[in-house]
Structure formats: C-alpha cells, structure tokens
Structure 1
C-alpha cells in the first residue's frame, strides 16, 4: 500500500514522567545533572558499584571480583579489579585499532575533494547579539522556504505481522515494516545482497529484514535461488547488549521449508569516522552480491559520516552498490565540520555561512521535535526568546530540518553520477515518529 501527499496528523502531547526515588537507589549526587544517580545499590551500601569509590564517605567493597578500581583507559568509570582484562575487551572507551578497517579519522574529510581543501567562507558572527543573530537566521530560513511537501511513502511487509501482534507499543514495528516495504518496492529486499546497517545498535532492523526475506521465500514458488549468498554487516561505536546476530542465524535454521544458505554476519565496534569501508567489505566472501546500506535512525553527524564513508570507498566505481535507505534523525546534533563540502556550499548560498549561523539553524531544527508541554496551545509560548508561538516555532523547526536534508541531497547530486536517483521522503506519518524522513540513493 502506498499513499502520496497525505497531510500529516498532529503528534500527541508528550508527557514527561519523572522516576521516583526508591530506598535501593544510589545516593550519589550528580552535580552536572542536578539529581541523584538512578542506579540501584546493594542492601547495606549507600552507593551503587560505580560510585562507591567516588565518595569520601564510602568504603570500597571487596568481593570475589576484587574491589572497584578506575578503568585503565578511562578513569571516569570503574570496574572490578579482577575483571579489568575482560572489561577492556568490551569497554566502549577503548578504540578498536587492531581491526584492519580502522583508519583514524578517515571519513572526517572527503578524500580528493577540491571543496574540502578550500577554506569555507566564514563570517565573524561572534560580535552580533545572539538575539539579533537568531532573528536574522529566522528571516533567512523564511526567505528560502520554497520546497513542496515531501511524498509520503507508507509501505507494509507481512514479515512484521507477528511482531506487531506481540507488542503493545507498535511504533517501532510500524517504522520497520515501512522501511522494509520501501526496500522491497525498490527491489532491494532479497537474497543476493550484503546489508550494511550503520549505527545498528542491536541490529533489530536487520533481523526483521532477514525475517522478511524468509517470509517472501516461503511465499515464492521459485526455490531455485535459495542458495544465493547474502550477508549482514553491523557498524556501531557502542557496546550493545541483547544483539540480534545469533537470532538471525536461528531464524534461518528454523526456516524448515527449504534449506537457505545462512548469511555471513560481520559486526564491528567502530566510529564511522574511522571506518575504511572497502576493507570492511573484504570480510565477506567474494561474490557478486550488491551492497545495500540501511539504518533506523541514523543520528545527527552519523548520517554525514556515513555518506562520506560511501564516497570515500570504491563501491560506486566497482558497481557493487545496490542502494541506500536510511531514516535520518536528530538534525539538532549535526556537526558543521562533518557536513559534506557541497552541503556547506548549499547552506552558505542560503545565509548559513559559518559554524555560528549553522548552530542557530540546528537550534531552530530542535523546535520541530522537542515536544509540546502539556496544556500548551498553538498560539501559546510567545514569551519564548524568539517571540514566536509554539506552532510558529514548530513550523520553522520543520523548515530548518528540511534545509539540512536538502543540503545532503544537493551534495550527493554533485558527488555522484546522474545515473543515481537521490530522494528524501516521509515513510510514516508524524504521529508515529517525528523523525519520519528517509534518504535514499538508488541506481536508475
């Protein structure tokens, strides 16, 4: 099912709930957050294991694991002394430099780009009053608000039906179903692909991509291609629990109708800025499978770093690239430095010429997703620094997000051959998620 140009429903008011203190909660006060730690403590202790050595009043607890000591790589957190060696193997503060595809800051710049080597035009905005700068940026944004509404491409895939029946909160499965349905509508779902999930976390999206592939095979009378190889590559800089990697293989083994060749799965813990994509892809068996890049949600600068990693690779030159579909997220934490050079050029042409003006653009972008305080009406909130009501700020926030997204489209169109189609779309209504825009790159 596909719907186009459908007005987006208004999102429900977001209620903020505070966690209540309990008798078993750590008593250590976090000055930066202006609250006590919410970790649980053992009976008889005043603090959780993380904070027991950070207070002068606490006595280090000694157990079978030893005592709490600062992590050798990052003393801002602690570890049991007997577990130091094991901890360092999974500590998220330890850079995994032993991986062959680790190249420090490789994607911080766009390789061989003339624009990257040219100093970006910067204006001294520090002398301008912050309020005046805000209003001047608002005027620039309104001046360049010439874009028509995006197309709303809502799809569904039966591979998510069981998931939708099992959970009460259906927003994530609905998003996953639409993303996977969009993959299928663009011929990107099936065996014969290597799915590279950027910012994968537990890789839940990839698991349901795999289940949807199996669902399609079950309903396909042609079983000649079930031995076609495929695989998944997982890229994330964090340490993730309850990973879906083994569940993907288990799902394949339980697919008793036919013997599907299990996918190759390669996971790496790395910041995208340090990823040499070509070397990472060498970990997969040599075959003719195409590369499909996916993500939900790819936060802030991670989207721009992902695009740089693709442009810094050889996948377009070797024609191994099949497509990209990512749900973008958090424009308010983008980095001016990590924008593609042509993105900066695009924004400069529209009045956002330096880090100061881009910082204001990001602030405005946050107005679209910050949520409405309970009881606030459309015309309330004019005591805001901007002097605008809530509905006016929300509208400007959407325009700021759109401008950042359009800068990415512009950059890709100037970096890739015309044989590729670059688009942004809504993939679910706004009442499902405020972060409802996808970026796609598709060979024509």
Structure 2
C-alpha cells in the first residue's frame, strides 16, 4: 500500500511553519460596504424538514441554506464550522455539553485558516490543510528581487520626523513622508525663499521644451466610436512618436508596458505594429485589474501573439530574468526549452565534490535576449523613477553579453503625479546635490508640483470679466480638468491656507510654479538617461486642453538614434 504523502516535520516551508507557530499575520480582508438600507428582520422561519438540509440560517435572506449535508450532520461543508463533530470516523455529530460526545470523545473544532481567514479548517488537522490551501503564499519567481530598483535603501516606515535643522528648529517633515499641510508649517520667509530658489534653478537648468503632437492610424476607428476621445488622442500621439523614433519596425521586439493597468496602450500598439505572432508583449502591474485587454492582444489568428502579464511591483523586477525576453521563447514555443543545464544548487554540489580535483565550475549557457522597448501612459511619480532604474540595470547587465547595439531599444513614458515621488526612489541623486536640493526640500518640491494640476488653477469668468463664485447662480467653480486623468490631484485646501503666506501669487502663478517643480524633476531624469548611454528628451505630446499631464519622456540609445 502506498504511503500517504504527508509532509515531514523537519521540512516545513517557512509560511507553513509560521502559520503553525501563530506568528503569521493573516491578510486584511476587504470589508464589503453595504450601501443599501438594511432589511427589518422578521421572526426566524421554521427548522427545515427536508432530509439532510443544512440548518444554517441566512439572516440576509431570511431562510436556511439549501445545500445538502453529510449523514449524521446538521450543517453543510460551507457552514461546518458551526457544528461540533466528535473525533474520528465514528463521530456522532451531536452537540453535547463540556465539549464531549456520548462516547466521551473530544469534539472537533474548526478555526480560521492562518493564510486566509475567510475560510476555516479543522484545528487537529491544520498542518495538512496548510499544505494544500490555495491561499498558501507562492514562491517568488526568478525575476523577483526585493527592492532591487531602489536608488537608496527603503527607510523604515515607522521613522518619524524628529530631526533638528542647523538653525535648531525641528524639521517639519520626514524625508519619506508627505503631509497635506507640510507647506503651511513653513514661515512666510522660508516659503518665499524656497519659491525664489525653485524659480532660479528652473531658469538655470531646464531648457526649452518643444511641443510635437502626432497621430497614428491605429486609433482611427476608436476615435469614431467613443465620445470622450482624449485618451485616444494621447495614445495616438504616443504611437506616432514611437513610429518617429523607429520603435515599431522590428517584429522581434519585446514591448514592455510598465504600470500597464488594463493594457489598453499595448492593445493599440499591437495594431500599430501589425503583429501576427512575432512580437512579444509583457505587461507589468502591481495588481490585476478588471476588463483587461490581454485576450484582445493575443489575437484571433492561429498563431497567437506572445502576451504575458507579471503581477509584481516594479521596484522588485529584474528584467533580465523575465522568461519572455529570451530569444528561444516565441509565440509557438511559449516556455524556455528544457536543456541539460545545471541549476545553481547542482553546481554548488558539484563544485564541493570536485574541489580536490581543481576542476573549474560549469557555467550556465547565456541565452540571447530580444530588444526591449519600454513604454507607459501616465506612470505615477516614483513608479517612473524605479522604471528608469530597472531599465538601466538591465542595460548594464546585458551590455557585455548581448550582440545587440543596445539591449534597450527605446523608452517612452508619459509622465504624471510628481507629488508621489519619493527621495529614495529618485534615480539621479547626484543631480539633486548639484542643484542644491536637500531631502527636505525634495519633499517641498514634490508637494508644490501638485499646484500645476489643481482643479482651482483656473476659474470661469462672468460676462463682466470677474471670476464666478459658488454663490453666483449657485454654480460650483468649474473644473477645467474634470476627468483629465485618473491620477489627477483634487482641489487643495492647502492653497487657501497658504493665502496669508504668499498673497502675491494667484492661481496662475502657483500653476506656473508647480510646472517648474515638475520640470526640475523631469530634467534630472533626462540627465540620468543621458549618463547611461541614451539620447533623451522631454516633449509635450498633446496640448493642455487634452491633458494637463501632457509631457512625455522619450529616449533611444545613442548607437541607434532615430530621426530628429
């Protein structure tokens, strides 16, 4: 008789061991909000008389569960935690006092699963359940390396802002934390000095940025079918710039969309490159959204495109380890071929056995990678920074091994949400030191950048030229950027609080200052790419009426520079 496949005590995986020891923190479940009015509870219905019907009363429906129970049980498997069952196969299933059945056996108890408290398991059989539980944490993939794309070590989240400045005053904010009232803490003199510094730095370091609004035929049909076509205009211009920079002419390219969301940009990219199963599409996002375009990107042809979605944080992504980037992974061969290559563990064992013979270690065969083009539409704040770090890390790791002129063939990122940038994520720390921006000033800089897209930055006018107020015709102040972007910043109460600090700056002047803060951060990103072998520039790819976040970062390697 075959032995049962029960795990050995000495080889417990870490999650299971933690769960058994009680040190595992269960995930916080999303509590469903009830928006409907609660029904008035009536008297409970009579006990069900149908044989083997579950006796669990569904209060919300006012009836008993209709599932069937096992013989001798009152509750179905879904509600078995409400039933005390005697140990062993001879359990009677009869509730008794003191936790004992008629035979004197201890009644079994169900407890919440440590991996996912939304379901339960038998307390005396918890270990076996943990090994087969679908909520058991999965092993990290090969392309996962925690915080590999951070510029500085991630600070402790519990750190507070208790530091002292050179003048002896307490620093108003921590480097890693931003508060909505951070600027209102500054005195008028400090704020005016900071504003003057930002204006001078912008005039000195940030060059003129050109506007180039392009179009692409891949979005022609969509423009005819949707009412709000601003997203179509943005996507069409981005694809037009990719065509201008020769990013759509290589059918063997691997297109990686960072912060992909539903993958809508990749969907129209597939149309633009007229792919028939030769290109590769990789989508990276922290959470899998609903209504994804993945099936549309696959296509309906016999040979479907190679599409892979990686659900992980960009800060932990090692691009060189993504399997879909390998040349031997194609639309017809969707997994790396099995080869007789020693794993790192096998190599270690072989080396230990052959150390006395002084035999050199066996090396894993290098597999050529596909050229990579990175893209994103409105990649928020720090996500842009760690994406640039991810790409330059990949460029360095593959530069000497790859036969390509540059492993990264192009970068195109529509920028947004600079207020979400973090100092330890920003890739060009040397640039910040060069222009004299301290970690504390970096927080102020990112906070003021939100003024550029604040809803109050423009107010409608009456016929006599005076601004409309909420009391005029009972109309709210118009929001010219309503629905502009999903990540748009809402109206800042802070702007009103700062009125006494900077009475000379109206909404238009504050908008201009917010744009200067954004461009200072963006120009540091351009310098970072130039220092890593790219020809990079900033381009306004749509007008402000289409999107307030209308700037894109574009880069191609110097060796394969495209058209001007």
The TM-score normalised by the length of structure 1 is 0.70
Structure 1 residues 209 and 391, CA, compared in 2 at 3 Å: closer, same or farther? Answer: same
Structure 1 residues 123 and 199, CA, compared in 2 at 3 Å: closer, same or farther? Answer: farther
1:105 aligns to 2:222 (yes or no) = no
Is contact 2:254-2:325 (8 Å) kept?
Answer: no
Which protein is bigger by CA-based radius of gyration?
A: 2
Structure 1 residues 153 and 198, CA, compared in 2 at 3 Å: closer, same or farther? Answer: same
The aligned counterpart of 1:372 is 456
Q: Deviations over 1:164-210 (max 9, x none)?
A: 11111111111000001110111111422110000101111000100
Q: Deviations over 1:134-168 (max 9, x none)?
A: 32221111111223431112111111011111111
Name the CA distance, whole Å, in 2 between partners of 1:159 and 1:442.
22
| Alignment RMSD (CA, Å) | 3.7
Name the CA distance, whole Å, in 2 between partners of 1:96 and 1:42.
40
Structure 1 residues 207 and 45, CA, compared in 2 at 3 Å: closer, same or farther? Answer: farther
Once the two structures are superposed, the pairs formed by residues 209-220 of structure 1 within 5 Å of their partners are 209-214=269-274
Name the CA distance, whole Å, in 2 between partners of 1:392 and 1:346.
26
The aligned counterpart of 1:207 is 267
Q: Deviations over 1:382-429 (max 9, x none)?
A: 826433210110000000000000111122222x13xx2111111101
Query: Structure 2 residue aligned with 1:239, among 288, 295, 298?
Result: 288
* Bigger Cα displacement from structure 2, 376-385 vs 179-188: 376-385
Q: CA deviation at 1:288?
A: 6.5
The aligned counterpart of 1:272 is 314
Name the CA distance, whole Å, in 1 between partners of 2:456 and 2:134.
42
Structure 1 residues 345 and 74, CA, compared in 2 at 3 Å: closer, same or farther? Answer: farther
Is contact 1:150-1:424 (8 Å) kept?
Answer: yes
Q: Deviations over 1:257-284 (max 9, x none)?
A: xx8x532111111001111110015564
Name the CA distance, whole Å, in 1 between partners of 2:36 and 2:263.
31
The aligned counterpart of 2:200 is 143
The structure whose RCO (Cα within 8 Å, separation 6+) is larger is 1
Once the two structures are superposed, the pairs formed by residues 347-366 of structure 1 within 5 Å of their partners are 347-354=432-439, 356-366=440-450
Q: Deviations over 1:38-69 (max 9, x none)?
A: 764486399xxxxxxxxxxxx899978769x9
Is contact 1:292-1:324 (8 Å) kept?
Answer: yes
Name the CA distance, whole Å, in 1 between partners of 2:508 and 2:542.
21
Name the CA distance, whole Å, in 2 between partners of 1:181 and 1:270.
29
The aligned counterpart of 2:529 is 412
The aligned counterpart of 1:435 is 549
1:166 aligns to 2:252 (yes or no) = no
Q: CA deviation at 1:70?
A: 8.8
Name the CA distance, whole Å, in 2 between partners of 1:163 and 1:384.
48
Q: CA deviation at 1:349?
A: 2.7
Name the CA distance, whole Å, in 2 between partners of 1:238 and 1:45.
38
Structure 1 residues 375 and 324, CA, compared in 2 at 3 Å: closer, same or farther? Answer: closer
Name the CA distance, whole Å, in 1 between partners of 2:40 and 2:200.
60
Structure 1 residues 401 and 164, CA, compared in 2 at 3 Å: closer, same or farther? Answer: same
Is contact 1:295-1:326 (8 Å) kept?
Answer: yes
The TM-score normalised by the length of structure 2 is 0.56
Q: Deviations over 1:76-124 (max 9, x none)?
A: xxx5779x99xx979xxx986431111111112389xxxxxxxxxx965
Query: Structure 2 residue aligned with 1:295, among 376, 388, 408?
Result: 376
* Structure 2 SS opposite 1:267: strand
The aligned counterpart of 2:47 is none
Name the CA distance, whole Å, in 1 between partners of 2:194 and 2:212.
31
Q: CA deviation at 1:379?
A: 10
Structure 1 residues 374 and 309, CA, compared in 2 at 3 Å: closer, same or farther? Answer: closer
Structure 1 residues 72 and 271, CA, compared in 2 at 3 Å: closer, same or farther? Answer: farther
The aligned counterpart of 1:18 is none
Q: How many pairs are equivalent?
A: 354
Q: CA deviation at 1:316?
A: 4.4
Q: Deviations over 1:248-306 (max 9, x none)?
A: 123x52xxxxx8x5321111110011111100155644377421100011111001101
